[in-house]
């Protein structure tokens, strides 16, 4: 009997894992549940102490879907992590203000994972956050920026991730950069790039050098700030790639191989990446 190619086996594994995702409510807002989709690795038990990653979708803070990071979550689950995709409130149509609800929900989602780590089979010392574009902003916000918490949250529960995996994040909202028209003079309250302080979590960043929203200088400046305070920051630039490039098949594979290696270097997962580039 012929064996299926590894890439086909991985595809079937990812599809099965996606179907098996568990939905949990991390909070209710005006009677509407905000949810997490949890992808658990094979052999998972509640008594486990596994690493986890909370992933936030992109969409300019005004749209998007938890499906965006489905492949990322299921792949990392196949590598032994608990993959978690967070749904969050987006800015309502017509609202020109800052992403207050988005960042509050991001912190609430992280606090839920920390406070329910024992039930999720998760090691609270190995909880990462990740995301793309506006979702990358939310992950970085949770890791770097104080304030803008949901008034209902228990602030004694931590929300800062222990590592960041960021795909073309719009995390500089200062003058002249993306999102500044929404945050205005309050950019220090919302811009992760303006809140890099000692103790910032180790970070890996992916960016295309033809991104029309994020200049390469934004990422290299962030990298310099991180290194200045003694925090690890690993940057991967992709020639000719534009915004959202990481969603495309071969770029998805390239970036996830590097994310895998980064997480392995932290001691969170073991072995070589199980993804392979298609030649």
From 84, 146, 61, 157, select the one nearest 114 (Cα to Cα).
157
1 found inside a domain: no
DSSP letter (8 states) at residue 41: P
- Look at residue 276 and tell me if it is in a domain: no
The whole-chain average pLDDT of the chain stands at 93
DSSP code, position 49: -
Q: Average pLDDT of 83-88? A: 98
* Cα dihedral sign, 254-256-260-265: positive
Confirm whether 251 is domain-assigned.
Answer: yes
Does any domain span residue 194?
A: yes
Range of the domain at 119: 6-265
Residue 244 domain flag: yes
Per-residue confidence (pLDDT) for residue 276, from 0 to 100: 86
Q: What is the pLDDT of residue 277?
A: 80
In a domain, 185, yes or no: yes
Is the pLDDT at 229 greater than 50? The verdict is: yes
Residue 271 domain-assigned?
A: no
Q: What percent of the chain has pLDDT over 90?
A: 90
Q: Please report whether residue 33 resides in a domain.
A: yes
* Number of DSSP helices (H) and strands (E) in the chain, helices first: 9, 8
> Does the pLDDT of residue 127 top 90, yes or no?
yes
User: Looking up tokens 């936030």, which residue turns up?
Assistant: 56
Question: What's the structural domain count of the chain?
Answer: 1
Share of the chain above pLDDT 70, in %: 92
Q: Residue 89: beta bridge partners?
A: none
Q: How far apart are CA 172 and CA 217, in angstroms?
A: 11
Cα distance between residue 165 and residue 234, in whole Å: 10
Pair 141, 91: CB distance under 8 Å? no
In this predicted structure, the answer to whether residue 123 has a pLDDT above a threshold of 50 is yes
Kindly indicate the confidence band of residue 262, based on its pLDDT and cuts at 50, 70 and 90. very high
Grade residue 279 by pLDDT with cuts at 50, 70 and 90: low
Q: In what order do the strands lie in the sheet with 163-167?
A: 22-29, 32-39, 82-86, 50-56, 122-132, 163-167, 203-208, 233-238
Picking from 29-33, 34-38, 236-240, 252-256, which range would have the lowest pLDDT averaged per residue?
29-33
Query: In the numeric block, which tokens belong to residue 46?
Result: 């509640």
CATH number at residue 101: 3.40.50.1820
Among 202, 239, 249, which residue's Cα sits nearest to residue 223? Answer: 202
């Amino acid at each position: 009997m012929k064996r299926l190619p590894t890439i086909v086996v991985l595809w079937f594994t990812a599809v099965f894992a996606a179907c098996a995702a568990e939905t949990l409510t991390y909070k209710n807002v005006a009677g509407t549940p905000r949810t997490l989709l949890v992808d658990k690795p094979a052999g998972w038990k509640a008594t486990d102490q596994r690493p986890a990653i909370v992933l936030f979708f992109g969409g300019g803070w005004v749209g998007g879907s938890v499906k965006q990071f489905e492949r990322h979550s299921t792949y990392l689950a196949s590598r032994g992590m608990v993959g978690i995709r967070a749904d969050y409130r987006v800015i309502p149509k017509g609202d020109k203000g800052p992403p207050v609800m988005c960042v509050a929900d991001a912190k609430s989602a992280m606090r839920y994972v920390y406070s329910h780590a024992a039930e999720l089979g998760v090691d609270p010392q190995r909880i990462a956050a990740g995301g793309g574009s506006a979702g990358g902003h939310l992950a970085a916000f949770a890791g770097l920026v104080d304030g803008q918490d949901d008034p209902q949250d228990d602030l004694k529960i931590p929300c800062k991730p222990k590592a960041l995996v960021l795909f073309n994040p719009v995390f500089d909202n200062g003058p002249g950069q993306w999102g500044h028209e929404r945050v205005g003079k309050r950019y220090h309250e919302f811009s992760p790039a303006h809140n890099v302080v000692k103790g910032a979590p180790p970070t890996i960043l992916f960016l295309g050098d033809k991104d029309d929203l994020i200049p390469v200088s934004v990422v290299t400046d962030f990298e310099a700030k991180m290194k200045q305070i003694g925090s690890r920051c690993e940057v991967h630039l992709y020639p000719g790639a534009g915004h959202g490039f990481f969603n495309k098949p071969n770029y998805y594979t390239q970036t996830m191989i590097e994310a895998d290696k980064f997480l392995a270097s932290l001691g969170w997962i073991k072995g070589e990446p199980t993804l392979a580039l298609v030649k």
